Amino acid sequence: GAAPAASGPAIGFKAVPISPNDTVVVPEGYSVQVLIPQGTPLSGEPAGKSLGAMTAAEQGAAVGAHHDGMHFFPIEGREPDQGSSTDGFLVVNHEYIEPRFMHARAVGMSVGNGRMPLTGGARDPEEVRKEINAHGVSIVRIAKGADGQWAVKADPRSRRVTAATPMEISGPVRGHALVRTKYSPDGTRVRGTVNNCAHGVTPWNTYMTAEENWAGYFRNLDQQDQKPNLPREHARYGVPTGQTRYNWDQVQGGGDEFERFNVSSTGADATQDYRNEVNAFGWLVEIDPFNPNAMPVKRTALGRFAHEGIVFGPAREGRPVVAYSGDDSTFEYIYKFVSARPFARATANGSLLDEGVLYVAKFNADGTGEWLPLQHGVGPLTAANGFADQGEVLVNTRLAADAVGATKMDRPEWGAVDPRDGRVYFTLTNNSRRTEAQRDAANPRAQNQFGQIIRWREANDDHAATRFTWDLFLIAGPEGNSRIAGNAPVNADNMLACPDGLWFDADGRMWIQTDIGESEQLRGALAPFGNNAMLCANPVTGETRRFLTGPNGQEVTGVITTPDRRTMFVNLQHPGATTSAADWAAGRPNSRFPNGEGAPLSATLVITKNDGGIIGT
Ligand code: FEO
Ligand code: CA
Ligand code: CA
Ligand code: CA
């Protein structure tokens, strides 16, 4: 039976223990199926070959790597979270890649590196195309069979968006001088999206994918070439001056398909090179999962930073659309967008995201907070201070937030809105760089290895408000160094570190996913937490129980249920990243390379309750 509203949602399962083991554990009475590991063809046909043997084109027609944020779109759905619970599009972000698991010749690469070495000073174009095609987003039709197992179902609308897919640039930066390139001299288009971490779902039932650690895919050699310093729109985001993450620019004679990742300047005219290519990354990208002909759109009014994801406030007829997004880097910020035009269910579409005000959060020590507008001409954001127009403010969102005096946070990751009371929660995953002198009320620990969850209530419960009140819901960590709101005790059933994924189900259960970094798992101060896990919390009482533990080397990220809440999808990203010995695939053939050989692969877990009940009850 349902718990009284005053005590929050019912949590009915028995907590699973902390686990250092190379396996998936869920509570008694639950079952797990592994679905769509990297390399699964979208066609529904068997792969017929290992991931290492697949061509670039085959990877481009198959599920990508490093599953992250995700949503289930019921097949006949018109409204978010309504419609079929047995058939729909699973839309999955692919954050990055593990090259040593992708190319036959790279299997012997050193563990925990994840980077592709240059051979003879160059990259092979086919391998680079394969890596490009393993990035982006999968839109894949899945359905539940008569046997209760889920499988890929053929649908011509299933498709891949990759790091090469043509995209529109919309909003205030469309056509701006800072996004004009040799590919798009008028600054309206760009190829691809990379490092798609978490996601969001719009009130008009489209998917938003967030570009997080995109800067490392590019490099700027201007300093090496003894030209002036890096432009601020490169420097403030950490565009490398040495090698890029995967050396995609290092295909000899490869043409601009690859050279575009070298964002050095070659002369006076920006449309003769790719110096501005990187300015078309760092955005939120809207994808219509039901229309394969709809070009993805980069919505620039939402700002440019290391977007972790986006979460929308509840849409209300006649009121602005409101969405929140965190910038996941140490000492970066939490933002909110409020649309200029009101929401109207009958006509709402992505253009609502092209006009509005982007705000950044300031958390005061007294538990109040304010949203500071990042609007050209307001406060310090003037031409005299180097912001000539709103396009410059948005391309340089971090600098604009610096200028207005926002609060520097401990790596903002996912946000979620409690459906019961409208409060907004954000995970702050950790920040070991914070010093004693840099502590503040919202980020209270120096050398913060464990993270916290902050929450706020907008003034008058209006998501468009410019003031709020806040507190810390959770200070993560071991017993004695941590607490949960409501003074629920921290114990072996609920202790966690490095909260990252965050989602509320329709009953108001809060699901928390952890991301202890690969190099820290099972080591030092993080050792007591075991492998990364997913927990379920009651936000009213603070009662929290561990629901799932994952295998070695992975992070648990991405969670959604079917509308009936009886099937839950959860992603396991980069299993085996820390050790060549990790072999989560053991005993689960479809989590290995599709032909049963190879390496541990990212995949989606399908979790059901054996009695057919609602997940978490
Ligand atoms: Fe991709 Fe901030 O996690
Ligand atoms: Ca990740
Ligand atoms: Ca994350
Ligand atoms: Ca993370």
Length of the chain: 617
Question: Can you tell me which atom of ligand 1 is nearest the CA of 515?
Answer: 3
Residue 110 pLDDT greater than 50, yes or no: no
- Judge whether 245 lies within some domain: yes
| 212 Cβ below 6 A of ligand 1 | yes
ipTM field: 0.98
Question: Can you tell me which atom of ligand 1 is nearest the CA of 328?
Answer: 2
Q: Which ligand number lies closest to the CA of residue 555? A: 2
Single-letter code of the amino acid located at 480:
G
Residue 116 pLDDT greater than 80, yes or no: no
- Judge whether 11 lies within some domain: yes
Report the alpha-carbon distance of residue 558 to residue 69 in Å, rounded: 4
- Judge whether 306 lies within some domain: yes
What's the structural domain count of the chain?
Answer: 1
The predicted-structure confidence for 382-423, as pLDDT tens digits, reads as follows 999 999 999 999 999 999 999 999 999 999 999 999 999 999
Listed in sequence order, the residues at least 6 apart from 482 whose beta carbon sits closer than 8 Å to its beta carbon are 450, 474, 475, 476, 490, 495
Band (489; pLDDT cuts 50, 70, 90): confident
Question: Can you tell me which atom of ligand 1 is nearest the CA of 306?
Answer: 2
Residue 425 pLDDT greater than 60, yes or no: yes
Whichever domain contains 67, its CATH number is 2.120.10.30
Mean pLDDT confidence for 68-80: 89
579 lies in which domain range? 5-609
| 583 Cβ below 6 A of ligand 1 | no
- Here the tokens at position 40 are 């699964």
If you write DSSP's letter for every residue of 503-552 in order, what string do you get? Answer: EE-TT--EEEEE---TTTTTSGGGGGG-S-EEEEE-TTT--EEEEEE--T
Rounded-to-10 torsion of CA 150, 155, 160, 165: -160
| Higher pLDDT pick, 332 / 489 | 332
| 300 within 8 A of 170, measured Cβ to Cβ | yes
- Judge whether 614 lies within some domain: no
CA 551 – ligand 2 centroid, Å: 15
CA 428 – ligand 2 centroid, Å: 14
**Per-residue pLDDT at 584:** 60
| Higher pLDDT pick, 366 / 99 | 366
In the chain, DSSP finds a helix count (H) and a strand count (E) of 6, 31
Question: Can you tell me which atom of ligand 1 is nearest the CA of 413?
Answer: 2
The predicted-structure confidence for 318-351, as pLDDT tens digits, reads as follows 999 999 999 999 999 999 999 999 999 999 999 9
Q: Which ligand number lies closest to the CA of residue 572? A: 2
- Judge whether 366 lies within some domain: yes
- Judge whether 263 lies within some domain: yes
- Judge whether 615 lies within some domain: no
**Per-residue pLDDT at 588:** 37
Q: Which residues surround the ion ligand 4 when the cut-off is CB under 5 Å?
A: 500, 515
CA 143 – ligand 3 centroid, Å: 27
| 308 Cβ below 6 A of ligand 1 | yes
| 413 Cβ below 6 A of ligand 1 | yes
Q: Which residue, by CA, sits nearest to atom 1 of ligand 1?
A: 197
Mean pLDDT confidence for 172-184: 98
Mapped onto helix, strand or coil, the DSSP state of residue 347 is coil
Band (105; pLDDT cuts 50, 70, 90): low
Q: Which ligand number lies closest to the CA of residue 98? A: 2
- Judge whether 617 lies within some domain: no
Mean pLDDT confidence for 427-442: 98
CA 515 – ligand 1 centroid, Å: 9
